[in-house]
Amino acid sequence: MDAPPLSTSFPTSGAGRYAPSPSGDLHLGNLRTAILAWVLARRSGRAFRLRIEDLDRVREGSEQRQLEDLAALGLDWDGEVVRQSARGTAYDAAIEHLRTRDQVFECYCTRREILEAPSAPHAPPGAYPGTCRDLTEAEREAGRERMRQLRREPALRLRADVTTWTVQDLWAGEVHGMVDDLVLRRGDGVVAYNLAVVVDDAAAGVDQVTRADDLLSSAPRQAHLARLLGLAEPRYAHVPLAVNPAGARLAKRDGAVTLRDRLEQGETAADVVGRIGESLGLPGCRTASDVLERWDPSDLPRDPWIVDLPDR
């Protein structure tokens, strides 16, 4: 099956989205976030877009399996599936837009150098310390020569013009976050996540970003980047993570935590939706449409979802 049935009605404006990376099967936390993103979009009359974030790790067959799993839970989406690997021209144009405004600079630092460099007061560990932001031309040429010796290209970074930015989140409210000179294109030539998602969301008309709350700290810098690109800033809805009984972020190593794992354990897709519904205080759900009909976003649990699944 190439894709589930597509919706035939398109709202006049606005969209939500789900954007998995095809690095393996989706686990229960991923599926819960997908359902919530779909419900929030559909309930507000928005379109629902699906994007495959395949700029980094790609496991053969994962994309197809993910599409099938989402369809099995009752999710559909509007328009064609977008793949980031086909969006290079749009990313290049965004970087050029910033470059013409002197908002891009080359960075010659290695990851270790950044981690070991003294940080600004109150900056989190590993925050970019501004090493290459204001180099002389001679210093830049020395940096390029060093990169040639390392057989790498300089990374391209944003010359941020603020240090903080504020976004609105459906549950967290007003969120103030740090903005730094984030990477736009890595030294290996791959566009950075923060740029790609901003450009892709705007191109798809996404004005509602629903995702796990481990990405909440990224929202201010992404919103600020959108503003610099002349794009509308989306509103955010960050949902609590799914974690294992030890409190660590849920991962495939935690056992039978994917839909296909649960099917092998004798459960059905409806049983899996039921588990997700119970995590939202909605017992008896069998499809994503059940969650759509019954879930009140104001009742979202604020604590992480502890997933403890006995194998049969």
Q: Are residues 130 and 191 in the same domain?
A: yes
Q: How many domains, in total, are found in the chain? A: 2
Q: Which among 165, 195, 225 is the end of a domain?
A: 195
Phi, psi of 95 (to 5 degrees): -65, -40
Q: Are residues 147 and 78 in the same domain?
A: no
Answer yes or no: is 205 within a domain: no
Does 285 show up as a binding residue in the annotation? no
Does 18 show up as a binding residue in the annotation? yes
Q: Are residues 183 and 108 in the same domain?
A: yes
The pLDDT tens digits for 157-208 are 999 999 999 999 999 999 999 999 999 999 999 999 999 999 999 999 999 9
Does 252 show up as a binding residue in the annotation? yes
Q: Are strands 104-107 and 155-158 parallel, antiparallel or unpaired?
A: antiparallel
Does 19 show up as a binding residue in the annotation? yes
Does 20 show up as a binding residue in the annotation? yes
Q: Which residues contact 312 (CB under 8 A, 6 or more apart)?
A: 265, 266
Structural domain range at position 180: 89-195
The confidence score (pLDDT) of residue 117 equals 81
- CATH code for the domain of 120: 3.90.800.10
Does 107 show up as a binding residue in the annotation? yes
pLDDT in tens, the chain (312 residues): 333 333 333 344 799 999 999 999 999 999 999 999 999 999 999 999 999 999 988 999 999 999 999 999 999 999 999 999 999 999 999 999 999 999 999 999 988 888 888 766 566 666 888 999 999 999 999 999 999 998 999 999 999 999 999 999 999 999 999 999 999 999 999 999 999 999 999 999 999 999 999 999 999 999 999 999 999 999 999 999 999 999 999 998 888 999 999 999 999 999 999 999 999 999 999 999 999 999 999 999 999 999 988 754
Q: Are residues 76 and 95 in the same domain?
A: no
Pick the catalytic residue from 252, 260, 275, 294.
252
DSSP secondary structure letter of residue 156: E
Does the predicted model carry a pTM greater than 0.95? no
Q: Are residues 253 and 302 in the same domain?
A: yes
Residue with tokens 């040639």: 148
Q: Are residues 62 and 160 in the same domain?
A: no
The pLDDT tens digits for 150-169 are 899 999 999 999 999 999 99
Q: Which among 173, 195, 217 is the end of a domain?
A: 195
Does 108 show up as a binding residue in the annotation? no
Q: Are residues 77 and 95 in the same domain?
A: no
Q: Are residues 101 and 64 in the same domain?
A: no
Answer yes or no: is 38 within a domain: yes
- CATH code for the domain of 31: 3.40.50.620
Does 109 show up as a binding residue in the annotation? yes
Does 128 show up as a binding residue in the annotation? yes
Pair 218, 127: CB distance under 8 Å = no
Q: Is 252 a catalytic residue?
A: yes
Query: What distances in angstroms separate CA 267 from CA 263, 306, 312, one per listed residue?
Result: 5, 19, 9
d(CA 61, CA 66): 9
Does 5 show up as a binding residue in the annotation? no
Q: Which among 161, 195, 229 is the end of a domain?
A: 195
